[in-house]
Structure 1
Amino acid sequence: MTPKQKALNINPGLAWQAVSGRHFIMDGENSIASGWTAQKAWENAYRKLAFSRFKTGDLVVMEGCLEASHYAGKVWKCRSDSYEAHSGDYAVFLEGIAGYFCCDYLRPATSEEKQSYRKDGAI
């Protein structure tokens, strides 16, 4: 996936705009990132969004990876904030998983999934 696709996966409402040779990634009327090329602007937007995507205590669900089929429907609790791993990927630590997990394969849990997680006594 390109930085543009990754950024739009996090926030589908983003838009690109060029003004006087500078490229901006907009969230509504607010600029969230810029660069001298559209590619650099999308890279900067993705970095900003990915870094702050998940916080300790957030509930997430795996998707789009091999583990997702094994843990279908399981809600996980983040035990760290998103951070940039040595590989360059953005990752979090999840309760019950030994290593870090790539944020590209996680999504926030829906309200129904959160209720189910709490109902099962996990929180």
Structure 2
Amino acid sequence: MATMTAAQRRERARADYDAFLKACPTNQLLDRISDKWVSLVVSALAPGPLRYSDLSRKIAGVSPKMLTQTLRSLERDGLLSRTVTPSVPVRVDYELTELGRSLSLLLSAVKEWAETHIEEVWEAREQYDADS
């Protein structure tokens, strides 16, 4: 059996990805990006960088702990960057990376779809509940 380089191993693994398998990294990534807070943070950052306090105000209902965890996970995944500007108080800005911007197009579309079709969903729920 021939030895493979790291690039060859990655390419082979890429061909084997199957998001329907729980152990597949793509399944884990889908789990991460389908999180409500992730989609709202990414959508909020789509127009441009925001400070933590701006994000907190913009995203109703997110706790400080959940916002911090979400921002850290997005930074770890390479979807946003965190810039610290030394001042008093320290200024921290969050901005989508190129990878994050590509995701924001999809998540913003899902957010807009939800805002556009919520009344239809409510009607369907009422009909379903009436028929049940």
TM-score (norm 2): 0.26
- Greater strand share, structure number: 1
Larger radius of gyration: 2
Q: Which has the higher contact order (CA 8 A, sep 6+)?
A: 2
- Greater helix share, structure number: 2
